[in-house]
Structure 1
Amino acid sequence: MRKKSKISHPGYSGSFVMGICLAGFMAAFLLIGIFYTPYDPDGMNGAVKLAAPSLPHLFGCDHFGRDVLSRVMKGTGTTFFVGAATVLLGGGAGLLVGAFTGYFGGWLDEILMRFNDAVVSFPSILLALVFISLLGPGKYNVILALGVVFIPSFARMTRSEFISQREMDYVKSARLMGVSHFRIMFVHILPNILPTLLATAAIGFNNAVLAEAGMSYLGIGVQPPDASLGRMLSESQTCIRRLPLF
């Protein structure tokens, strides 16, 4: 019999390597920005106001004379912090809700999942904007708003995984041996669904970064003096057509 030839997809491996390189570059950029920036990100200097890119200021300066590269480095850290905190808040709460509803079922599952469906029926960004309008703009309010909005997606994913795992033989054996429900849920089942949860967390982090940038661009997200990539983009729009690049 003839062996089936394996079809290779060089484009897939190339995209993977490119993605790893970009992620590594951004991670290095972020870590360096935590400990070092070329200038004070909030330091103003009227002498270099709206200066073009040069050796002393590789990305130029903004309308307050602040070094753009330093602010980009600080803004990247702010964006990462908001994304990571949002995933921790929304993922942690969603994990608890999904674990209890998926494992126990019954009336608890019906009540929480119907409430979950009601929240999911509204666009997530619209709900986040409603929360921000009630709480006010600011970095921590953005984290709280996005975290609450992201709870239903994490809860639904966790619930489906717990439902599929609770009837497995290893879970039934643990019950027969008298293992507590809490231990079964978080010591036996949780490690088996971690790959799915990590994938969901990665998608949630991406969505949180985009949402934070969008709200900061509109002026209702991270507020000065904290640097934000979305707000920097909004502030630089007024200068992009009339200022030289070099």
Structure 2
Amino acid sequence: MRKKNLNFILGAILIGIVLLLVLVGIFYTPYDPNAMNGSIKNTAPSFAHWFGTDNFGRDIFSRVMEGSRTTFFVAIATVAIGTIVGTLVGAFTGYYGGALDSVLMRINDGITSFPSILLTLVIISIFGIGKYNIILALGIVFIPSFARVVRSEYMVQKEMDYVKMAKLMGASDIRILFIHILPNISSMLFSTITIGFNNAVLAEAGMSYLGLGVQPPDASLGRMLSEAQAYLFSAPWYAIAPGVMIVITVLGISLINEER
């Protein structure tokens, strides 16, 4: 079996584990993720609490399930904003060129000229901290990368014979843009989306770790790492569980993307 196939299978298994926890967590968690119990603070993993408990006596396994769902939601929403807006910008600029290309790509370059982390902080400072504001901030930051990739593909595809044939047959520009060309760049777009998803997971974890994303008592993997930093030696399981989930997610997506 080829190495790429093995990587894809391993990646699918890792993502399957994460998705199972996320999907099950929508309907069921062993304990209320926010329920506190002072009598079992920082207890080690056991049959009753598989991943142990945190400094408030909350079940870490339940919070990992909840936190993974929150992190996935933020990542998916972020990538959706970047993909939809970036694809529209890239498609129109790459296909039409001219003044539209010059104006939109200069705006795109302006956004790109800011370090992504700095631009995210600026947007958050304007709209405030919180889950939905971090989605908006990261979504805006992700738009330029999608726009550039899609634009370059459309510039190539619009010169292809199948596009010229579609024009001769009277197909409208909108139909050519989204019915003829878009499916032909789906493989490239998939790879860009998977890379963007990984970046979004890490970005959400970083922002929430700094206290700028998901706010307590809500759980996210980054928020859990932030809360666990004071207990790295006395209760290491507190940080291990969310940290491993982030690693599994990023590694799994990366291995799947290698097959593309």
The partner residue of 1:161 within 141, 144, 153 is 153
Identity fraction in percent: 63
1:136 and 2:128 correspond: yes
The partner residue of 2:177 within 169, 185, 200 is 185
Shift of 1:71: 0.2
**Helix, strand or coil for the counterpart of 2:175?**
helix
**Helix, strand or coil for the counterpart of 1:238?**
helix
| Amino acid paired to 1:163 | M
Shift of 1:69: 0.5
| Amino acid paired to 2:32 | D
For the residues of structure 1 that align with 2:224 and 2:162, how far apart are their CA atoms?
A: 53
**Helix, strand or coil for the counterpart of 1:224?**
coil
For the residues of structure 1 that align with 2:94 and 2:209, how far apart are their CA atoms?
A: 38
What is aligned with 1:20?
A: 12
Shift of 1:189: 0.8
What is aligned with 1:225?
A: 217
State the structure with more CA Rg.
Answer: 1
What is aligned with 1:52?
A: 44
What is aligned with 2:255?
A: none
Alpha-carbon distance change, 244 to 15 in structure 1, aligned in 2, over 3 angstroms: closer
For the residues of structure 1 that align with 2:7 and 2:82, how far apart are their CA atoms?
A: 30
What whole-Å deviation, never above 9, does each CA across 1:219-240 have from its counterpart, x for those lacking one? 1111112201111111111122
What TM-score, normalized by structure 1, do the two folds share? 0.92
What whole-Å deviation, never above 9, does each CA across 1:182-233 have from its counterpart, x for those lacking one? 1111111111111111110110000000000001011111111220111111
For the residues of structure 2 that align with 1:12 and 1:35, how far apart are their CA atoms?
A: 35
Within a 5 Å distance, the mapping from 1:17-166 to structure 2 comes to 17-166=9-158
Higher relative contact order (CA 8 A, sep 6+): 2
Alpha-carbon distance change, 244 to 95 in structure 1, aligned in 2, over 3 angstroms: closer
Which range moved further: 67-76 or 38-47? 38-47
The partner residue of 1:239 within 223, 231, 234 is 231
Shift of 1:20: 2.0
What TM-score, normalized by structure 2, do the two folds share? 0.87
Which range moved further: 29-38 or 195-204? 29-38
What whole-Å deviation, never above 9, does each CA across 1:118-142 have from its counterpart, x for those lacking one? 2112221221111112211111001
**Helix, strand or coil for the counterpart of 1:167?**
coil
For this pair of structures, how many residues does the alignment match?
237
1:175 and 2:173 correspond: no
RMSD: 1.5
| Amino acid paired to 2:45 | P
| Amino acid paired to 2:192 | T
Greater share of helix residues, 1 or 2? 2
Structure 1: gaps spanning 5 or more residues? 1-7
**Helix, strand or coil for the counterpart of 2:231?**
coil
| Amino acid paired to 2:210 | L
Shift of 1:62: 1.1
Structure 2: gaps spanning 5 or more residues? 238-260
Shift of 1:17: 2.7
| Amino acid paired to 2:23 | L
What whole-Å deviation, never above 9, does each CA across 1:43-101 have from its counterpart, x for those lacking one? 11122122221111111111111111100000000011001001111110001100110
